[in-house]
Amino acid sequence: MNTLSRSEAWQADRDHFVHPYTDFTTFHDTGSQVISHGDAMFVTDEQGQSYLDGIAGLWCVNLGHGRTEIAQAMADQAMRLGYYNTFGHSTNVPAANLARQLAERAPGGLNHVFFTTGGSTANDTAVRLAHFYFNRMGKPSKKKILSRNNGYHGSTYFASALTGIHGIHYGFDRISQDIVHHLSAANCYRRPDGMDEAQFCDFLIDEARHRIEQLGADNIAAFIAEPVMGAGGVLVAPAGYHRRMAEVCKDNDMLYIADEVVTGFGRLGHWFASENHFGHVPDILITAKGLSSGYCPIGAAIFSEKIYEGISKPQGPGGTLSHGFTYSGHPVACAAALKSIELYEAEDVFTNVRDTGPYMQDRLQGLLRHEVVGDVRGDHLMAGIELVADREAKRNFPPDLAAAEVVFRRAREHGVIVRPVGDTIILSPPLIISREQVDTLIDGLDQAIEDVSGQLL
């Protein structure tokens, strides 16, 4: 039976579907909101209620919902060739084409692509192949990875170890305690008192250099960072931070892994943010989400020539690059990505981001009129609104109040979907958003904060 009635779907979900990132104390009572269809900026639930999707599904539906062009490309490919493996010397046309298209758009000399099933597996791939690379270079002691507090890099065992969001580890074990080391988050809002942003940047760079000295550069393989931290609260680093961290990496023979799962494919107005927005070329670039505009699971790790040369060096008879997934280079996922790239270009979507992004950031500043809003921050079409119980002291609300969740629920009643993460409300709308729709999104959120402020304070 392929279809279920509304109530059957709700029941089946509640009884059998183990949801990611879910609080089961409330889930058992309330179950899920069943989203049944989407059209451009809007999604509709099973009750027939429509919402402006202020989070693009989960930072990914960059081209908007219900794109028949992408669906058609996937259907055509599925009928031509639904699957074949890409291990060894086997390939398919969409995978080869997509690898070339990514190489043409990636910064600097990043021109070798390893396909994965999403962002976590791409980050795992980056670290595994970074270790392999240094082994091949005769530097097997280079194993440690520097990551950052508040960074989000995924949910596989190693990607979760890279992740520096404290609450996510609650109750879980961590592997590789001595392999992954976390530096301070580049959190300008919560920087030490008395420091301006330039001094804060110096502080972060000094901290990194000091930590490398302590751990020994000979023991460190790489530094991983999101250009703008996403799930950790949309934290925008001080000016020059990424370029300077890239220099730190070069000085210490460490690889810079840019996790562009969120920032890639236009969210900051360019294919990728590292070079065009932040002025540096990483050694490995990670992408997923917007790559297929969320229509099919796919991710990629894009490597420099230098790393490719290292990992593809003949290792003696029978030696292979023993890494890969059944669905690496899946033809249907690659067809979805190829069509997405075509649409990003044909519709000049990134020009729209460069117009509506700064407009959204400007309009969001108006939310500071609410006493419960401590900070409004972001870059182009990603934004974070941090709620505080005390603005002067920058003190958050008690966790059991779930302040951002309260705002999220109220905003939904005003017809807009935002995302609560800790005490921060995140916005990451589809990149096709118009100025009028930015107004609708922010007006709905503004009204929701107004409605619940009294209850929160």
Binding site for ligand PLP (CB under 6 A): 118-120, 123, 152-154, 226, 230-231, 259, 261-262, 288, 299
Nearer to ligand PLP, 258 or 364 (CB): 258
Nearer to ligand PLP, 120 or 328 (CB): 120
How many angstroms separate the CA atoms of 34 and 48, rounded?
Answer: 10
Nearer to ligand PLP, 38 or 57 (CB): 57
Write down the least CB distance from residue 275 to ligand PLP, Å.
Answer: 17
Q: Could you tell me if 224 and 126 are in contact, meaning their C-beta atoms sit under 8 angstroms apart?
A: yes
How many angstroms separate the CA atoms of 22 and 18, rounded?
Answer: 8
Nearer to ligand PLP, 119 or 384 (CB): 119
Residue (of 343, 335, 411, 437) closest to 61 by Cα position = 343
Write down the least CB distance from residue 334 to ligand PLP, Å.
Answer: 16
Write down the least CB distance from residue 4 to ligand PLP, Å.
Answer: 26
Q: Could you tell me if 75 and 68 are in contact, meaning their C-beta atoms sit under 8 angstroms apart?
A: no
Nearer to ligand PLP, 64 or 299 (CB): 299
Tokens of 303: 């490597």
The residue of the chain with the least Cβ separation from ligand PLP equals: 119
| Beta carbons within 8 Å of 286's beta carbon, 6+ residues apart | 119, 122, 123, 126, 257, 258, 259, 260, 261, 299, 300, 301, 302
Write down the least CB distance from residue 231 to ligand PLP, Å.
Answer: 5
Nearer to ligand PLP, 164 or 444 (CB): 164
Nearer to ligand PLP, 167 or 314 (CB): 167
Q: Could you tell me if 299 and 291 are in contact, meaning their C-beta atoms sit under 8 angstroms apart?
A: yes
Nearer to ligand PLP, 212 or 235 (CB): 235
Amino acid at 298: I
Write down the least CB distance from residue 159 to ligand PLP, Å.
Answer: 6
For residue 416, the surrounding DSSP H or E stretch is strand 416-417
For residue 283, the surrounding DSSP H or E stretch is none
Write down the least CB distance from residue 230 to ligand PLP, Å.
Answer: 5
Nearer to ligand PLP, 110 or 389 (CB): 110
Nearer to ligand PLP, 42 or 152 (CB): 152
Q: What does the buried/exposed string (b/e) look like for 372-392 if buried means 16 or more CB atoms within 10 Å of the residue's CB?
A: bbbbbbbbbbbbbbbbbbeee
Q: Could you tell me if 380 and 351 are in contact, meaning their C-beta atoms sit under 8 angstroms apart?
A: no
Write down the least CB distance from residue 319 to ligand PLP, Å.
Answer: 29
| Beta carbons within 8 Å of 29's beta carbon, 6+ residues apart | none
Write down the least CB distance from residue 256 to ligand PLP, Å.
Answer: 15
How many angstroms separate the CA atoms of 449 and 457, rounded?
Answer: 11
Write down the least CB distance from residue 371 to ligand PLP, Å.
Answer: 30
Write down the least CB distance from residue 236 to ligand PLP, Å.
Answer: 14
Nearer to ligand PLP, 130 or 261 (CB): 261
Write down the least CB distance from residue 8 to ligand PLP, Å.
Answer: 28
Tokens of 25: 């104390």
